[in-house]
Structures are given as structure tokens and as C-alpha cells.
Amino acid sequence: MMLAPTARADSVTNFRQAVASLRAGTSCEALRYNTVVEQAADIINRSTEDYINHTATHVPIAEPLPGLKDLGYGGNRAVLLQGAHKNAADAIKGALLEGHAAIPDCSYTDFGVSMRRNETTGYTLTSLVLAGP
């Protein structure tokens, strides 16, 4: 079962809103959505999917900072948070739970998310990258 483009877009919007909501519950300033950080999150998520599908030439990307630098991001700090589940809401929840310590860290100022549905496993894969100066 493939997600329709609007269903996927809604899930990505829900993911972004969930990240913003969690951050709003801290003493930190709001995270800024950043297209470069989101591009890195998508590249990382694709590398995980390629690995799951046995089409990867390398292990999945675990460190987002080198890729962010390659994409022109100027910061020096980044963390990757991932989740996976049969339904999108629980996949988002997995990434957010992994970020229990990172999301309230005020040194992260930017974020980007990615969601992919792996047709082989039926799982939704989520990646959240937090980055900052």
C-alpha cells in the first residue's frame, strides 16, 4: 500500500509540527525549519532504505554533520534521530522518543525531517536531523 502524495505530505507536516511542539515545551527558542537540513535528513533516510532493500553500496549514514557540510550548511553540530514502524504516527513517535535529550538542547537551532515508506517491509522510516552552530 503506497501513501498518496497528500497523505505523505500530511505526515511530513505532522512530523514537523510534532518536533516544533516538543521544542516549544522547553526553555529554548523555536527550532527553524531548514531546507538544507531537510535535504540531509532525506539523503540519510534514503541510505537506510537502500540498506534495508539490499541495494546499498555502503552502510546507512549515521552521522549527519559531514553530509550537512557537503550540502553547504555552516553549522558545526548535528544529531540524527530515527524511527520506524508500520504506521506513520508511531514511526514519528519513535524518532521523537530517540530525541528525548537532543530536542531540549538549545544549541540545536535548525531542523529537517524525512519520511519514506519502505515497500519491502511495509514500514514507514523517519529521520529527524537537528543542527546548529
pTM for the model stands at: 0.88
CA distance 85 to 93: 9
In CATH, the architecture of 31-132 is: 3-Layer(aba) Sandwich (3.40)
Region class of 81: left (phi > 0), else alpha (psi between -120 and 50), else beta: beta
Residues 6+ apart with CB under 8 A from 44: 60, 61, 64, 67, 80, 114, 127, 129
Residues 34, 75 contacting (CB under 8 angstroms): no
Integer Cα distance of 16 and 88 in angstroms: 13
Domain ranges of the chain: 31-132
Tally of helices (H runs) and strands (E runs) in the chain: 4, 4
The values of phi and psi at residue 9, to 5°, are -60, -40
Q: What is the pLDDT of residue 8?
A: 56
The per-residue pLDDT string of the chain (133 residues; one tens digit each, 9 = 90 and over) reads 444 444 555 889 999 999 999 999 999 999 999 999 999 999 999 999 989 889 888 888 999 999 999 999 999 999 999 999 999 999 999 999 999 999 999 999 999 999 999 999 999 999 999 999 9
CA 31 → CA 43, 61, 124, distances in Å? 21, 23, 24
Q: What is the pLDDT of residue 76?
A: 96
Cell 523555536 -> residue = 30
